[in-house]
Structure 1
């Protein structure tokens, strides 16, 4: 048995050596036996097998020569051997070099500098020139020229470390002058992590808009100049962001001599593996790096098929001699694709480089990849406090169809549109079409719902959302898909009565999206942009003041990134250059038309049952009552649907599947369904469980395959929505109505606002007439011009208060509301009187001023009736309208009777005619009884 076991071990080790030989050759090494040693082979590096070391040190598996001198050793072990357990053996070889072997550069302790352990499937590398030599896993053996470069650096400058791991120990102090505190913390955190080298990865959490890219450029400059780094890979989320990043490098002025970064170091987009030797920073997306590793050409421009591509399974990479793992010393991941640490992980781990992640919203998978090594954290609230970002408000628009869907009656002729060709045709509905909110703008487009949302936005824009303004703020609308975006753009132009320059669609399918994006940033004419995903992350549009969600978002991380598009600060002069009535950007507004802000932050043919619908199949899946033929049919239907989906829809469906099971994907689900009805797989399962009835074993296979659908109602719903979305129905008959539209104030912010408001009233009590009259005379005698004076003064910086803001702040801290429902969120300047009455102790609840006037008017009429006075219908016409003028203007005088609506009945003369000689007395009495 001992001999047999020994033979097996030797055979396993020999198989490993075959793999190691191949890997060495692929990396540019010549592999030779000791008996045919030829140091004059054309290769710069030679790996010699089975060399006997000095007595007591055994026989090394591979001795490595570079430029005809020994530089390292490789200890080979069978596949599956834990390599960390054999480091003592390779270290013994590294110090056991025979005297008759020509040496190169040795470490001070006499050991060879480069030590490897390998099994053919795993390779560990210890660089003796590092300050604290420690084995690390690498994808492939370094090329001989890479080791030669390190040796040459050690020889030419023996007092300096030839590796970046040594050089980062003596980086110069960071000059904080041009940096924000958060940027200083991030750079110091990264560099401390480089010094410690505990993880090989560093995560920086920095709020959107806080200057992540500038931080990364600053760090790149320091590491290239002083840190011994030779080349850096900078990964961006989308290809259109590569140009923006390139601009950051081009505009960066070095802190020492003021030259531009690109005057000192070559920065380029990654094209393919064999990049110019002068390249110091390569900018790319993860998808394009994957193509480069495969040695495929990488297109220059945007390519939605490439840039939005997400594989069903984790990618695997193979060695590319034109882009070897040692190509980059540092990989910076700047808000990269959300799946970069999942399916794309193999691309990142291909390179023997330190990885720095920059993100505003790290998720669990991100933290896991970086081994919880969060070196710097900077939150959004902190960025607002520091003036790095502006705060935001929420304006919610609810409509009946958005909340509850609608029904189109049977017999109605409705247009349908093919989503891929946009060809329309009329069809007659045979049955009532009930559609849910989730199907809106996917299976069904309700034209009136889109129009009503946009009309409400237009009508409330200058009264509640941006009160007092007259120019539509730069607004970004997020649509569900390209067809939805198309419908929104057309409706925006109609609702606002503007031309093509006013609003544009910025998606991958749009003509000249980069040109439109530039215009959106700088052109005063372009006010509204509609997008899906293209500018959802990373893209700066600093003048943006309004972000509208007409699509839901299931990912809290993605929502934060989308929200962050409006967070950027901008110099007042720059803002005014594109928005003439904006003095300064003090906030931005999220207009939520979908409810995104309300989340708590988803051998026979297979198609054997042609008469059953997909919905019925999914319902039966939920109840676990599918027959074997129905399981096969379901697999067929899902596979057919998959072929119709866009890449973005596939991604979304996989994300919903993964909500229940992190390993689930539509590809995996369909494959499991197919496997469950495979006769051979069934036969194998039955044979393995001889103590059970075959039918029970097969049923277990079917149930297991169906479980990801049965246990995930959201996934079933989304599949049906996507199926119906392939033939989209356009609802032209249902009319929508607004349920609610109001601002939402954070309770903590509301409390602060009320405290500031009370302080303002106390400070200015003696100088502002409206305040003084309220506190001294309980509001008697306050005129409209005095109220308007107060409204104008509080609207100025630094407070920028509106009646709506103060009113909603009181509601948010729990002050009781007593008034009509329809006036709860509709405020006028005269409602300042109600706010003053509350603070003066006259009232103990919020009551709109107009509601108070109406109530007083009703009491006055009742008292008149009780006193025997009666008014004709004509007289009531005059009195009712006088009441309304008082409600809106805090009073009325005789001159008002010559204006609308009184002028249609003769003005002052008409009032004397219909009310008699006591018309003046009635005006005075109404002012006294109803005003203030």
Structure 2
């Protein structure tokens, strides 16, 4: 079978699956079905591979190609256009055909010529004939309606950030951009914003059906409730009275549903035929690892064709959209709309860097939408160092599932680390010490004026761990069953009922969860989060922290916390497992100087201390104070400031440090001086001057002594301190400050391990054999070393090691704030061995060596590298920085493949390529 014949066979099969009847031109019978695809149909420019007829009318053409041409299938678009505009034999009307398709056995590209600026797009499968019939019956296309028919957004009941998000999204859709990302801080109303956009797409855009993808079943339920509660600004009826909303709980999609709410797991199950584990929908995909067995590919489902949804809203699906489940998004011919509070580089890349709205956590705090937070740390000896159970000790042995106990001797010595706590070993004393330390800290330092425990959420490792925490909480606080409850999917009581009481009633004061309240769930009265578990994902950690950021007015807070005086001003994250130190978090506390008194911050600013930490800390205190003061105190400060409120003073400081605004100020300054400056051409000195100008203006009011006194007096009137002696056995308790001794201990353990294992680990042997084995270092070797270091008992991750060096040897460490890459382990080993005098990110060292290398080459060559060659060399350098080396196969990776891959780079360098790669591998990594 020739490649052409095989491709035709696969095309025929796919057309038939979509409901088309395939006919040869000699046996044509246009009455055989709604949709008929006629092979080799004659035209005045030659036979077209397929002409598509719907209800007896020619509507489209398919140009078929063999699979080997698939990568360049767009080059055949002119050929398809030629057949679409040709005169068809036996057809009186020579109007150009509307639907243009190029197809191989594997790839299908589709163009609707009725769209404004028609643009081809890849689709998973052919559309059904009925879909073409419906489109032909409409006066204009979906994309034309989005570009020309969307009315102005009513702004009533919408925050500025929500208006910006909906407007930006609609502008993006009008430009036919297939993917758009809305970045909005947790608590800013992402779901409400999304529903507003969905309503407008249905009413004015004429969207047929929209898929709303969520992370867990609980979030699906919450989203459904928000759809039911939503009242559009131009209609008095509820959303669900206007449109049918289905929360998917079976494989069947209601044909009348205009919005479907589903987890991505369930949709994957429908399309792949993989049975769904109902409990899997209860677990956040941030915590789910795909197993090797989960390899079923999504396949065409005639009951759920690719045109089922016109838009897919992805509500915090996080990393799930990048792995096996991404097939769900590839399957549907739909525009993708991402909603997230925690984007990373993958998120930006997946959505083609099309960020239609951006509203950061810091902006939300400045606007009063959210509150700031402080970090309080609790360390115990066993959490940090672990412990050992000797053989022949009589202890309880507890079944993990049933929790049934038996009293017996241990068989052998059992050493365990803090990471193994509450999994293989349970130490009730450790849990008790953390709970007691939390109780003491809340009552004496964090919320000393409260008579009742603030609403507190504790994140546990497992359901069994949650049970242990609940029992000890009731014991330490001396309270009954109502005081604290477990809110997990396995709780004996109804989780939704407990969650409702936790949100709205006095009791429970404390809730313990594993992951049910980790993402998306709204509990505004929360003021304390205690982490008794670590988290793998940066994004997931941000989501968990987001449970505490919601602002709340004073009356509402007082309803559930009687002694609260004023609006919710902050929340406190209590870190009992070191989760905050692992550099997972994307946002940082605004409070940079928690130990500095407010009056000293005010005095420092007045004396010219205008560094970021001081200005942001003062801003945080002012925004917090604004929520606490009564009208009289607010008025006194406003009078002293010349009419500026406390909240506005704080927001002004935050806005002054906005990097984008600083650049705009620098550009305006340059233009005022008669320069034609662009952002790229701005000098560092010009940006620094703009920053200083903005900060000085924002800080100018604090030059007034009367304003500083009015603010400090108002603060002292609000504050009550209780002196209490802490008698527990906690080794460290305080606001986010790691002990230097622990850092030195971590460094020593690392150095000892390198010395002891230098002969058995390839990556270590590489460094000990300098300089003769330079080319031998591989990414796999670094992965192997990282895996050995990060396992118990060492638990030495790259992040932890870098942090330890930064604390113990700060003067020799660079790039502490940059994100860690696995290849930074190379820099750590070199520094530990004394090969380098400074600890710098591996990528920085590669950059430095690259500059030397390329300068030498340009000096030695007859002609210097061309701009295109230089761009390729930089891409290759970046790949080496993240992967240790580069080879021909690496040009299949996205960053390199997007530029043309191996085929293009070979055209640029020719036979010189392999030699250049060898040189770069040797000289940039060593």
The aligned residue for residue 47 of structure 1 is 37
- Determine if the alignment matches structure 1 residue 481 to structure 2 residue 462: yes
Aligned to 2:147: 168
* TM-superposition CA deviations, 1:832-852 (whole Å, max 9, x none): xxxxxxxxxxxxxxxxxxxxx
Cα deviation, residue 364, structure 1:
2.5
Alignment partners' CA distance in 2, 1:417 and 1:112: 72
Quickly say closer, same or farther: Cα 1:102–1:329, change in 2 above 3 A. Answer: farther
Cα deviation, 1:907-926, whole Å, max 9, x if unaligned, reads xxxxxxxxxxxxxxxxxxxx
1:379-419, Cα deviation, whole Å (9 max, x unpaired): 11111001110111122111111111122333311212222
**Aligned pairs for 1:861-900 within 5 A:** none
Q: Residues 105-162 of structure 1: CA distance to partner in whole angstroms, max 9, x if unpaired?
A: x8xxx421001011011100000111111110001111111110111113xxxxxx23
- Cα distance in 2 between the residues matched to 1:98 and 1:554: 61
Q: Secondary structure at the match of 1:202?
A: strand
Q: What secondary structure does 2:260 align onto?
A: strand
Q: Does 1:20 align with 2:11?
A: yes
Verify the 8 A CA contact 2:599 2:712 in the aligned structure 1: no
Distance 1:795 1:418, change over 3 A: farther
1:240-289 deviation line (CA, Å, top 9, x unaligned): 11121111111111111332111111111124454233211110100111
1:440 corresponds to which residue?
421
**Mapped partners of 2:515, 2:347: distance in 1:** 21
Secondary structure class of the residue paired with 1:318: coil
Q: 1:452-491 alignment to 2 at 5 Å?
A: 452-491=433-472
| Residue of structure 1 in register with 2:175 after alignment | 196
Query: Matched residues in 2 for 1:263 and 1:549: separation?
Result: 42
Match of 2:223 among 228, 245, 251: 245
* 1:590 counterpart residue number: 573
Higher mean C-alpha displacement, 751-760 vs 32-41: 751-760
1:749–1:227 distance in 2 versus 1, CA, 3 Å: farther
1:383 to 1:271, Cα distance in 2 relative to 1, 3 A: same
2:310 aligned to 329, 343, 356, which one? 329
Mapped partners of 1:577, 1:530: distance in 2: 21
Asked if the contact 2:395/2:409 (under 8 Å) is kept, the reply is yes
Would the alpha carbon gap of residues 796 and 340 (structure 1) be closer, same or farther in structure 2, given more than 3 Å must change? farther
Aligned CA distance change for structure 1 residues 53 and 323 (closer, same or farther; 3 Å): same
**Is the 8 Å Cα contact of residues 317 and 350 (structure 1) preserved in structure 2?**
yes
User: In structure 2, which of residues 335, 340, 364 is the aligned counterpart of residue 383 of structure 1?
Assistant: 364
**TM superposition shift of 1:225:** 0.9
Q: Is the 8 A contact 1:411 1:428 kept in 2?
A: yes
* Aligned equivalent of 2:536: 554
Question: 2:715: which partner in 1?
Answer: 794
Supply the distance in 2 between the matched residues of 1:450 and 1:153 (Cα, whole angstroms): 65
In the alignment, the residues of structure 2 paired with residue 494 and residue 60 of structure 1 have an alpha-carbon distance, to the nearest angstrom, of 81
Work out whether residues 123 and 141 of structure 1, in 8 Å CA contact, stay in contact via their aligned partners in 2.
yes
Say yes or no: does 1:72 pair with 2:60. yes
1:688-707 maps to which residues of 2 (within 5 A)?
none
1:117 aligns with 2:102: yes
Rate the CA distance shift 1:585–1:795 in 2: closer, same or farther, 3 A.
farther
For residue 267 of structure 2, the aligned residue among 289, 295, 304 is: 289
Confirm or deny that 1:185 pairs with 2:164: yes
Does the alignment pair 1:83 with 2:73? yes
Distance 1:136 1:791, change over 3 A: closer
Conserved 8 A contact 2:146-2:174: no
- State the shift of 1:480 in Å: 1.2
Aligned pairs for 1:564-575 (under 5 A) are: 564-575=546-557
**Aligned-pair CA distance for 1:748:** 8.5
Which residue in the other structure is 2:198 paired with? Answer: 220
TM-score by length of 1: 0.63
1:175-223 CA-to-partner distances (Å, cap 9, x unmatched) read 223211111221122112112224x101111111111001100000111
Q: State the alpha-carbon separation in 1 of the partners of residues 42 and 595 from structure 2.
A: 76
Q: Which residue of 2 aligns with 1:601?
A: 584
Deviation at 1:337, TM superposition (A): 4.6
**What is the distance in 2 between the residues matched to 1:296 and 1:747?**
52
**Distance (whole Å) between structure 2 residues aligned to residue 329 and residue 573 of structure 1:** 43
> Are 1:98 and 2:98 matched, yes or no?
no
Question: Does 112-121 or 438-447 show the bigger shift?
Answer: 438-447
Q: Could you say which structure has the larger radius of gyration?
A: 1
Equivalent residues of 1:77, 1:117 under 8 A apart: yes
CA contact (8 A) 2:36 2:54 kept: yes
Give the SS at the match of 1:153. Answer: coil
CA distance in 2, matches of 1:552, 1:311: 20
Instruction: Render the CA deviation track for 1:25-49: whole Å, top value 9, x for unaligned.
Output: 11011111111111111x2100001
1:577 to 552, 559, 577: 559
Distance in 1, matches of 2:523 and 2:150, equals 35
- Please state how far the C-alpha of 1:168 moved relative to its aligned partner: 3.3
- Per the TM alignment, residue 344 of structure 1 is displaced from its structure 2 partner at its CA by 0.8
Secondary structure in 1 aligned to 2:224?
Answer: helix
**Against the structure 1 CA distance between its residues 494 and 102, is the aligned structure 2 distance closer, same or farther, given a 3 Å change threshold?**
farther
Q: Residue by residue, what CA displacement relative to the aligned partner does 1:291-337 show, whole Å, maximum 9, x if unpaired?
A: 23357998999854898865325652111111111011100001115
User: Comparing 299-308 with 578-587, which one deviates more in the overlay?
Assistant: 299-308
Note if 1:257 corresponds to 2:235.
yes
- Structure 2 vs 1, CA of residues 430 and 327 (structure 1 numbering), >3 Å: closer, same or farther? closer
Deviations 1:34-91 (A, max 9, x none): 11111111x210000111111xx22111110001110000011111312101111111
Alignment partner of 1:140 is 2:125:
yes
Residue 534 (structure 1) aligned with residue 522 (structure 2): no
Q: How does 1:276-675 map to 2 (within 5 A)?
A: 276-294=254-272, 304=282, 311-312=290-291, 316-511=297-492, 512-583=494-565, 584-601=567-584
Alpha-carbon distance in structure 2 between the residues aligned to 1:94 and 1:432:
79
Is the CA contact 1:273–1:323 (under 8 Å) kept in the aligned structure 2? no
Other-structure match for 1:735: none
Alpha carbons 2:7, 2:65 under 8 Å: kept: yes
Number of aligned positions between the proteins = 618
- Residue equivalent to 1:627: none
Q: 3-state DSSP class of the match of 2:337? A: strand
Contact 1:187 1:215 in 2 (8 A): yes
Deviation at 1:796, TM superposition (A): 5.2
The within-5 A match list for 1:624-773 is: 745-747=591-593, 750=596, 754-756=600-602
**Which moved further from structure 2: 300-309 or 465-474?**
300-309
State whether residues 413 and 427 of structure 1, in contact with CA within 8 Å, keep that contact through their aligned partners in structure 2: yes
Gaps of 5+ in 1: 1-7, 155-160, 603-742, 768-788, 805-810, 815-932
Q: Structure 1 residues 301, 172: closer, same or farther in 2, change over 3 A?
A: farther
CA 1:401–1:479 in 2, change beyond 3 Å: closer, same or farther? same
Match of 1:905 in 2: none
Q: Quote how far apart the aligned CAs of 1:434 are.
A: 2.4
The CA deviation at 1:373 is: 1.7
* TM-score, structure 2 normalization: 0.63
Root-mean-square deviation over aligned CA pairs = 3.2
Q: State the match for 1:269 in structure 2.
A: 247
Alpha-carbon contact 1:473-1:545 (below 8 Å) kept: yes
Conservation of the 8 A alpha-carbon contact between 1:451 and 1:491: yes
Q: 2:215, 2:284 within 8 Å by CA — same for their partners in 1?
A: no
Structure 1 pair 749/125, CA: closer, same or farther in 2 (3 Å)? farther
